[in-house]
Amino acid sequence: MRYLVLLALAALAVALPILTAPRASEDMLALWLAASALAAERPDLVYAPAGEVFTMRPPEEAWLAVAAAIGHEGAVYPYLYPPIWAALVRPLTHWLSFATLETLATLLAPLALLATSWLAWRAFRPGLRATDFILTGQILFYATSIGALAVQQNQPQILVAFLLVLAIERSRADAQIASGAALALAAAIKLYPLLFAPILLARGQRRAFAAFLVTGAGLAAASVWLAGWPLHSEFLAGVASIAGTAIRIPAAYGLDTVLANLLPDAWMTTIPVASLAEGANGGWQVFAKPPAWTIATRVLLVTGIVLLWRRASRLPQERLPHTLWPVALIGFSLLIPLAWCYYFLAPLAFAPGLLASYGPRRGAALLLAILLPVSIPLIQVNRALLLMPPAAMPALGFAAMLALLIAFALQPAAQKGRTTLPE
């Protein structure tokens, strides 16, 4: 009981500073501004024009005026999601303020993270009590940039992580229709969950794969019906622009960003942030990737799919949430373009299970060593004392996520205390 109280106090101590800090909600603001553009019959202001490189700037200065009118005082970023979500939020802009929407998201985000940890516990079924697993998961979320930044920004990635873990848990329970539908919904928010669908097919879960295809096709058709094809053409052009761009920015942990930081400064183009903050002078640097770079990344992704297919067909069903699913979630996220730190929320949800697989002491030491480079205390100390250049943060994040992938891949099976749950 004393251990449980200490664990709860530790979770509260790391979560409170994040939960009580002001929210930036910049991605949510982009959704609101895109929906407002549709409501104003200005579909040309939904997406920024796609160029050779992705600049991460909003469509026009008109966005800044609208953002200022609703009281926003920070950075303004472009809308990057499929048109369906702007079309669905469009009617809400007539009777719901952005502040109300932001408040709802602020209340729901921590609940979604709790639910994600609970689903991960059900899928992993380690030798840990649910309370221990969930509380440890919250500590890992809020004590690292992976969860803290997502919460501070009310990131839609929190919902994507919840849906991904839900799809894995339902697959583990052989509730195939729900699994495929959850994965399709996640892919309709961020496209990269498409990469995980072959795992369902490799496991022989044909109904799950069919549910993924049917749900995805239904959402795509609804999106075109609600928003029209021209907006989808603009969206796909934007996706291609992102795929062809490497960006130097501290909060991205993907391979593209790590490689971009190794390039000569003369090759990079500096993009100033579009911000309403007084004296804002931040920004980032971009580089148009040559075709060989893009092709090499795609070859790695296809190779990963083939390897995971072979591994998925051989592993026992109960071992998939222990090894294959977290490895896939991390591996693909490291390889996709512009992999923000919060893309690793879903695999991090399974990390408390390593305490059962490696043992409490070894597991705790392993998690501490792996996640220290992306911990909030280290980032704050570095920000205050400038111990490391900004280019070091993506490299540290990449190394930490690669180490977590290896820890999942090599973990032994937990031998005792396995939890049995009703489906």
Distances (CA, A) of 53 to 123, 244, 293, 322: 40, 7, 14, 38
How high is the mean pLDDT of the chain?
91
Write the pLDDT tens digit of every residue in 166-215: 999 999 999 999 999 999 999 999 999 999 999 999 999 999 999 999 99
Position 16 confidence tier, pLDDT thresholds 50, 70, 90: confident
Write the pLDDT tens digit of every residue in 369-404: 999 999 998 888 887 777 788 788 999 999 999 999
Write the pLDDT tens digit of every residue in 272-302: 999 888 777 788 999 999 999 999 999 999 9
Contact at 8 Å (CB) between 353 and 322? yes
Give the C-alpha separation, 22 to 263, whole Å.
35
For the chain, the structural domain boundaries read 26-97+156-410
Which residues make beta-bridge pairs with 75? Answer: 275
pLDDT at 27: 87
Phi, psi values for residue 270, rounded to 5°: -85, 130
Across 68-72, 187-191, 353-357, least confident range: 68-72
DSSP string for 377-406: HHHHHHHHH--S-TTHHHHHHHHHHHHHHH
**17, amino acid identity:** P
Write the pLDDT tens digit of every residue in 238-272: 999 999 999 999 999 999 999 999 999 999 999 99
Instruction: Determine the number of helices (DSSP H) and then strands (DSSP E) in the chain.
Output: 20, 3
